[in-house]
């Protein structure tokens, strides 16, 4: 039975892992085509200059699609939260090379004690300040990274919401 990958992954709040894997393989195989198709399905209130990628490919694809069709100015910055699935890491590499985007890897390991978590978040603050992030999409960010972003001086954020047959990038400020 054929499936509509866009419906199952891009528009669904809880896609199955098999469909997500198929979607990422499509993105890796034909990044330009997938980004152009995604741009037709994305609406936005504000275009973020930075996107955080950890587990879900949809925020990356939604934001990157706007850069692919030249609706956004500047250079996209991708904060990669490690460890992440290998296939998603490959997708980030392909999108970054397709758009000439900057990637900034950060480590987020929980369960190693307060000192190590605090040390990792201080590194995130330095990376975000170095990247000069102004508007950050936090849809796929671990909770503690939001604190680090605020500490780094970021006050404008976006969230990717799936609504019916479109994806909306909503903004909010602190």
pTM for the full model? Answer: 0.91
pLDDT, tens only, 73-102: 789 999 999 888 889 999 999 999 999 999
Q: Which position has the token pair 């896609």?
A: 15
The per-residue b/e assignment along 22-51, b for 16 or more CB within 10 angstroms, e otherwise, is bbbebbbeebeebbeebbebbebeebbbbb
51 close to 38: Cβ distance less than 8 angstroms: no
- Give the sign of the dihedral formed by CA 42, CA 46, CA 49, CA 51: negative
pLDDT digits (tens, 9 = 90+) for 96-133: 999 999 999 998 776 666 667 788 888 899 999 999 99
pLDDT single digits (tens) 4-62: 888 889 988 888 999 999 999 999 999 999 999 999 999 999 999 999 999 999 999 99
d(CA 138, CA 54): 10
């Amino acid at each position: 039975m054929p499936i509509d990958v866009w419906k199952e992954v891009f528009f669904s709040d809880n896609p199955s892992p098999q469909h997500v894997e198929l979607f990422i393989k499509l993105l890796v195989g034909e990044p330009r085509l997938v980004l152009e198709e995604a741009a037709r399905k994305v609406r936005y209130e504000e275009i973020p200059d930075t996107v955080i990628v950890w587990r879900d490919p949809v925020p990356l694809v939604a934001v990157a699609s706007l850069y692919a069709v030249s609706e956004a100015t500047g250079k996209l910055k991708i904060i990669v939260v490690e460890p992440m699935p290998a296939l998603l890491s490959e997708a980030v590499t392909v999108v970054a090379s397709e758009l000439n985007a900057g990637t900034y890897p950060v480590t987020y390991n929980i369960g190693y004690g307060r000192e190590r978590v605090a040390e990792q978040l201080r590194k995130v603050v330095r990376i975000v300040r170095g990247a000069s992030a102004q508007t950050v999409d936090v849809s796929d960010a671990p909770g503690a990274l939001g604190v680090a972003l605020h500490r780094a001086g970021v006050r404008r954020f976006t969230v990717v919401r799936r609504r019916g047959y479109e994806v909306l990038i909503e903004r909010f400020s602190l």
